[in-house]
Every structure is written in structure tokens, then in C-alpha cells.
Amino acid sequence: MTHDNKRFVARDRNWHPPAYAPGYKTSVARSPQQALMSMQQPTVSELTGPDFSHLRLGPYDNDLLMNFTQGEGLPQGERIIMFGRVMDQFGKPVPHTLVEMWQANAGGRYRHKKDAYLAPLDPHFGGVGRCLTDDQGFYRFRTIKPGPYPWPNDVNSWRPAHIHVSVTGPSTSTRLITQMYFEGDPLIPLCPIVHTLKDPEAVETMVGRLDMANSRPMDCLAYRFDIVVRGELQTYFENQ
């Protein structure tokens, strides 16, 4: 696979959240303190990599019900399938790209040394998974629905249930890190991080939809979450 001469559409900074959003307190210290500089051209390494053809995935890498204990015990919580299609902004599927995800357990606790929330760790749940999209751009995970958790932002801030997602797309420069929320969660409109998005339609693109047709009777519900990354300029401007 070659990525030579690829050029991608610029990121729309009105659609993505700003780096500095005072309502999301951590963004104040994390955001750039000086004006951004524009790069005229992406670097070669941004355009030619990465190539995942040598990646060897384990049989349970996309199965969080099994991967932490290798099937010795099942985690607590609502069993779900999370799946969807990775596409570019022009609707072209992105095959064979890496999708990574991480999440809290059913009680809202991460398996991380800095997470000291009251909810207990689940001895049968790690909370990380990865897979490659197939020929048609589809990815799929089996997991449990994470719980909401409180965090120190305002007096009483809670994150809606969410699964963190990183998707690479056709090149390093298209990598997107986002979160999937769950359709109908009343905490979505209360979340200070969700409020950093200016356009309500942008929030809707981050909501996984209940998909009964892809659920498994007496086993798992399914949520569909399609992910859109930047597109190649040549699919838009035919002369380039």
C-alpha cells in the first residue's frame, strides 16, 4: 500500500472543539499559550505512514469480555457490541486502519493508578481493545457498557457513559481521538466537555445509536458508531 502524494482537507476548527475552553478547566493549562503556526506541507512521515500490515492482533484484542482474563471470568455490566464504519468526509470507507478504544468499567472506574473513584475495580475487566477495520471499513468490539463517573470540574460534574476511541485513518495526519456517547443518556447535555463543541450537530456525531438489528437475542445489545476522518483532496478536487 502506498500513500505517496496524499493531501488531506484541512481540519475544520469550527467543527472540532477549541483547545482552550474555560468551562472545561483542564483545557486552560493544556492549551497553547501562543498563536499557532501553519505548516505549508505535511511531513513525509505524516503522509506515508503508518502501515499496519505487520501488526499481529491477538484473538481477544477486540473482545473486552474476554481479553483481561483470557476468558477465565466475565466482567460485570451490560454486555454490548460496539461497531461501525470508518469513512472519510466524502463517504469513502477506510479499510485496514487501526481502531483503539479504552473505557471505564460498569461502575465508572478506570483500571489506572490515578483513578481513585469509589467504584471498585472489576477483576475480570481491563478496559482496552483494538482492531483493524475490514475491507469495507467496518470495526467491531465486544465489551460492557461503561458507567458514568464524577470528576473535579464544577461542584458536581459527571461524565456521561462514554468509550474513548482513537482511529488513525489513511495516514498519521488524519488520526482522530474522540469519544462515543450512548443514545438517550441524560448526562450528555450536562457535560462540560460536550459543551466545548459549538455545533449541536457535532455532538450528534459522537452518539452511538442503539441498533437492535445487530444485537444478539439473550446475549448483547448493539450500538453503532460510524467515525468520519478527513478526506483526500484528490477525491474532492479532480484536477489535483
Q: Catalytic residues, which ones? A: 110, 149, 159, 162, 164
Residue type for position 147: G
- Give the burial class of 189: count Cβ atoms within 10 A of its Cβ; 0-12 exposed, 13-18 middle, 19 or more buried: exposed
- d(Cα 83, Cα 223) in Å, to the nearest integer? 6
Q: Are 232 and 8 in contact (CB under 8 A)?
A: yes
- d(Cα 109, Cα 119) in Å, to the nearest integer? 6
Q: Are 161 and 107 in contact (CB under 8 A)?
A: no
Phi/psi region, residue 70 (left: phi>0; alpha: psi -120 to 50; beta: rest), is left
Helix (H/G/I), strand (E/B), else coil: 120: coil
- d(Cα 84, Cα 97) in Å, to the nearest integer? 13
Q: Could you tell me the three cell numbers for 195?
A: 459543551
- Give the burial class of 74: count Cβ atoms within 10 A of its Cβ; 0-12 exposed, 13-18 middle, 19 or more buried: middle
Q: Are 182 and 161 in contact (CB under 8 A)?
A: yes
Q: Could you tell me the three cell numbers for 236?
A: 474532492
Helix (H/G/I), strand (E/B), else coil: 233: helix
